Chain A
Amino acid sequence: MSHSAVWEGVLPQLEEPAQNQWSKVTSLFTAAPWVFEVLDRIAALANLPNDWDGYGSPRIDPGAVAAARRFVASVAFKNLPCPNVSPVLGGSLGLQWRYGEKELEFTFQPNGEIEFLRVLGADLDRDENMETGTLRHEPETAGLKFLLWMTGPR
C-alpha cells in the first residue's frame, strides 16, 4: 500500500473537528476493517491456560488483554495494516506491525505498562536502528504517533 493511500485513510480522522463530547468512540466509517477481528483475536488469548508455552508462563493477564483491546479500538485507523497478535512470556500480550522496512511492537504488561520497540531498516543488528521505551502518558495518543511514524514517509 502506498504512503498516500495510508494518509488518505488517516487524514479524515485527524482532521475531524474538535468535539464538545467527552466520551471517546471511534467511528466505524474511519476505522480499519479488521478492527473487530483483531479485538476478537486479543480476547481469545485470555483463554490460554497457565503454562501455555510449555515453559511455565502464566495465563495472559486480563488487564493486559483489556489494555490491548482499548489500544486497538483507539488507534485502528482506516488503511493501517492489520497487526499480528501474540502471547508474550510472563502473562503479557504483544501487537506487531510491519510496514516496508519499519517495524513497531507494543507489549502490554500485567502491571499496566505498555512497552514499545520500533525498528527502522532491515539491519536489526545496528543499535541506531532500534528504539525501545515505555508509553507513559496517554498511551493511545502516544501509540498513534508511532503508528503515524510507521506509515508516514521515511
Chain B
Amino acid sequence: MWEKVVAAERTLPDFENPPAVETLMGVHFAPIDKWQGPYFGLFWSRIKKDYPRAEVQPPVVAAPTPELVLPQFQGRFELPVRCWFFNHDETRLIQVQNNLFLHNWRKVAHTDKYLHYDDLRPIFEREWQVFCNFLEGEGLGMPAVQLCEVTYVNHIDRGNGWQSFADLSQVFPNWSPQTSGNILPTPELVAINASYPLKDVDGHLQITAQPAVRQTDTKETVQLTVTARCKPASYSNQDIYRRLDDARKWAVLGFTDFTSSKMHEIWGRKL
C-alpha cells in the first residue's frame, strides 16, 4: 500500500534544493469532550523518551472552517492550551490541542538534509497511532477528524532570485509591479494572500507570501507558506492518510504553479 503511494508521488514536481524550511502535517478534529489539562502530561509521559522537552503555547484559535470555531473552547471551564513536544535534536515537533494533532519538521542548519513527505508520513502515522491509542486507553474516544492539513513553509531570501520587491514578478508570475498610470514607485513591501478551491477533493489551498526577517540568522526573506486542507471521506485512518496525500499533492502542485520557472531552475527542479 505505502509503496504504491510513494511510486505515485514520484510524478510530482521535485527539487534538488527546495526552499522549504519547515513542513507540517496533521489533523484537525472536533474538540475532545472530556479532554482536560492533565491529559497533556499523561500523553507526554507516553512519548517523553523520544520527545524530552515540552512547551506550553497559546492555542490555535483561528479554526480553518467555521464549523470548527464555535464548539472549540465551550463547555466546562478549561484553560485553552496547546502543548509542543520536541524531539531530541529539536528538528521535529508534535503539537497537541484538544482539537488538533500536528507533526512539524524544520531545517535547523543549512546543511541539514531536506526531509521529504515520504520520509515524514510514516513518522506522522506512528505518532498519530500512539495518540489514538492513548485516547482510547484513557476512555476519551476516537477523534472525529474533520480536516487533514499539509503545510510547507518556504524562505526565499533576498539575493536568491530577487533583489527588490519590483522583482517579485520574477518569483511569483501572477504578481506584477505595474500600475495603471505608472505614478507609484517601486513598492517597499509586498504581501500576497490567496485561496484556491481544490479540484476533485473537498478542500482549499491557501498561499501567503510575506516579507520578513528570519529571527535565527536575521536574513531578509519572503516567507511563502503553502497550506492544503482537505476533508477526509470518513474518520478512518485509511481515509485520513489518503487525504493527507491529496493535501500534499496539492501543496506541491500549488507551490510549483505559483512560482516561476526561473526560481524552479534556481532550486534545481528534477521533475
Contact = CB atoms under 8 A, between A and B. Distances in A.
Interface of A: 17-29, 31, 35-36, 39, 69-70, 72-74, 140
Contacts of B155: 23, 25
Contact of B215 (A21, A28, A140): A140
A21 B20 CA distance: 12
A146 B78 CA distance: 30
B79 to A, nearest CB: 14
A29 B215 contact: no
Nearest to B58: A18
Given A28-B212, A35-B213, A23 B62 contact: no
Contacts of B151: 20-21
10 contacts: A20-B149, A21-B151, A23-B214, A25-B155, A25-B212, A25-B213, A25-B215, A27-B212, A28-B213, A29-B191
A70 B218 contact: yes
A65 to B, nearest CB: 10
Interface residues of B, number: 35
Nearest to B227: A20
B212 A18 contact: no
A97 B189 CA distance: 27
Interface string B140-155: 0000000001010101
Interface in B192-224: 210-218, 220-221, 223
B93 to A, nearest CB: 6
B60 A20 contact: yes
Contacts of B252: none
Contact of A21 (B58, B62, B153, B221): B153
A34 to B, nearest CB: 12
B215 A24 contact: yes
Given A17-B61, A22-B22, 16 more contacts: A18-B58, A18-B60, A18-B61, A19-B60, A20-B151, A21-B153, A23-B216, A24-B214, A24-B215, A25-B214, A25-B215, A27-B212, A28-B220, A39-B213, A73-B218, A74-B215
In this complex, which of A23, A74, A140 has the most chain B Cβ atoms within 10 angstroms of its Cβ? A23
B57 interface: yes
Interface string B34-57: 000000000000000000000001
A73 B214 contact: yes
B62 A72 contact: no
The 10 closest A-B CB pairs, nearest first, are: A25-B212, A28-B211, A24-B215, A73-B218, A18-B58, A69-B218, A17-B62, A22-B104, A23-B22, A74-B215
In this complex, which of B62, B102, B213 has the most chain A Cβ atoms within 10 angstroms of its Cβ? B213
Contacts of B149: 20
B212 A21 contact: no
In this complex, which of A24, A25, A73, A74 has the most chain B Cβ atoms within 10 angstroms of its Cβ? A25
B231 interface: no
Contacts of B102: 20
Contacts of B24: 20-22
Contacts of A73: 213-215, 218
Contacts of B93: 22
Contact of A26 (B58, B189, B213): B213
B242 interface: no
Contacts of A26: 212-213, 215
Contact of B216 (A18, A21, A24, A39): A24
Given A36-B220, A69-B218, A20 B95 contact: yes
Given A28-B189, A29-B189, A18 B59 contact: yes
A26 B215 CA distance: 7
A21 B60 CA distance: 10
Contact of A18 (B57, B215, B217, B218): B57
A25 B106 CA distance: 13
Interface in B70-126: 82, 93, 95, 102, 104, 106
